[in-house]
């Protein structure tokens, strides 16, 4: 049996219905429980069961965000970020209602639990919570317009391989305000997307290789944690987890046993990644930029390329 608890909500699952029923009976003697039967809604996430497996969606939550923002009848757009758009270079007029901006941006962060296709765009607008401008609010409404056209989208969960695989990417000096890079990585368990991250790097990278290596280090840390979790769930990973990276220089630094002076500023990450390679926890493989799934977490794209990457993330509609 597995039990997932969050405050006063919990899920129980397993392959022995009698044991589950007995557990619930015992809990009922100590606590006031309300049993809701098979899962259909948990922490605002709709769980739809089908012949293929499950489908996770937040359609009702997304609809509420649009209504609260006054955009329930807005015109839909095909991408959450204008292709090739850059962040502002100079201060603009402050937005008149910053509390509204923060409320919507915070809601979008929670929506990204099942919508990683808006993770990059949401991360960008959340960087301006303190003093949002009219330009920032326009970027925020762009995300809302994209959600309007994709309300029924979410993540499918289907049976398949239990092997982990990860994609890591970075967009070098993408923030024009401070020249910091953006890291992005995502991990699949078989056919299912289970983990993803979009984050602006803490320091300014001096090269694209350094930016990619920083993202790779963060991805390795996540993989190590996921492998430990899988071990606890009796899903032991029998082979090293493959991490796909499209930067050959970053891969070369990780694999080269000779320590070069020019990499001394990333020495800690260097030894950490090499240790995981040596222990058989991970292995690095080069992947072409065309096939790099994590690209969608680090930059904006044309409509066709965005849809292609969104499909590779397995995000789809309940009607698909």
For residue 253 the two structure tokens come to 């630094």
102 and 218 both lie in a single domain: no
Give residue-wise pLDDT tens across range 172-209: 877 777 788 999 999 999 999 999 999 998 888 888 88
Separation in Å, CA 165 to CA 72, 124, 159, 193, 221:
38, 26, 16, 10, 13
Percent of the chain whose pLDDT exceeds 90: 68
The pLDDT of residue 138 is above 70: yes
Is residue 277 assigned to a domain? yes
Q: How far apart are CA 123 and CA 296, in angstroms?
A: 12
Q: What does the DSSP 8-state code read for residue 75? A: P
For the ranges 52-56, 152-156, 251-255, 316-320, the lowest mean pLDDT is seen at 316-320
Q: Encode 145-160: b = buried (16+ Cβ within 10 Å), e = exposed.
A: bbbbebbebbbbbeee
Task: Provide the domain count of the chain.
Answer: 3
Give residue-wise pLDDT tens across range 293-304: 999 999 999 999
237 and 137 both lie in a single domain: no
- Beta strands 45-49; 41-42: pairing state: antiparallel
The pLDDT of residue 87 is above 60: no
142 and 196 both lie in a single domain: no
149 and 172 both lie in a single domain: no
For residue 101 the two structure tokens come to 């901006």
167 and 204 both lie in a single domain: yes
165 and 270 both lie in a single domain: yes
The pLDDT of residue 91 is above 70: no
149 and 254 both lie in a single domain: no
Which residue range(s) make up the domain with 11?
A: 2-37
Is residue 51 assigned to a domain? no
Give residue-wise pLDDT tens across range 98-112: 999 999 999 999 999
Is residue 299 assigned to a domain? no
At 52 the pLDDT is: 86
At 68 the pLDDT is: 92
């Amino acid at each position: 049996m597995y039990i997932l608890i969050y405050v006063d909500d919990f899920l129980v699952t397993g392959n022995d219905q009698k044991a589950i029923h007995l557990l619930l009976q015992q809990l009922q003697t100590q606590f006031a429980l309300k049993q809701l039967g098979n899962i259909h809604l948990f922490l605002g996430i709709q769980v739809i069961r089908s012949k293929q497996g499950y489908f996770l969606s937040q359609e009702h939550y997304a609809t509420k965000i649009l209504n609260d923002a006054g955009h329930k009848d807005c015109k839909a757009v095909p991408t959450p970020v204008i292709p090739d758009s850059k962040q502002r270079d100079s201060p603009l007029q402050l937005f008149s209602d910053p509390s509204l901006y923060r409320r919507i941006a915070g809601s979008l962060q929670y929506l990204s639990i099942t919508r990683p296709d808006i993770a990059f765009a949401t991360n960008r607008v959340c960087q301006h919570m303190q003093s949002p401008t009219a330009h920032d609010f326009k970027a925020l409404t762009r995300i809302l317009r994209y959600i309007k056209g994709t309300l029924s989208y979410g993540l499918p969960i289907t049976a398949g391989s239990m092997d982990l695989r990860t994609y890591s990417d970075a967009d070098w000096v993408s923030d024009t305000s401070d020249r910091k890079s953006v890291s992005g990585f995502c991990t699949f368990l078989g056919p299912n997307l289970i983990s993803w991250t979009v984050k602006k790097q803490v320091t300014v990278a001096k090269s694209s290789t350094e930016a990619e290596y920083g993202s790779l280090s963060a991805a390795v840390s996540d993989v190590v944690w996921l492998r430990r979790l899988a071990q606890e769930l009796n899903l032991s990973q029998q082979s090293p987890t493959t991490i796909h990276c499209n930067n050959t220089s970053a891969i070369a630094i990780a694999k080269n046993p000779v320590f070069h002076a020019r990499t001394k500023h990333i020495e800690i990450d260097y030894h950490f990644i090499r240790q995981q390679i040596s222990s058989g926890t991970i292995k690095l493989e080069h992947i072409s930029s065309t096939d790099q799934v994590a690209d969608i977490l680090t930059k904006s794209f044309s409509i066709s390329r965005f849809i292609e990457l969104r499909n590779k993330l397995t995000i789809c509609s309940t009607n698909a």
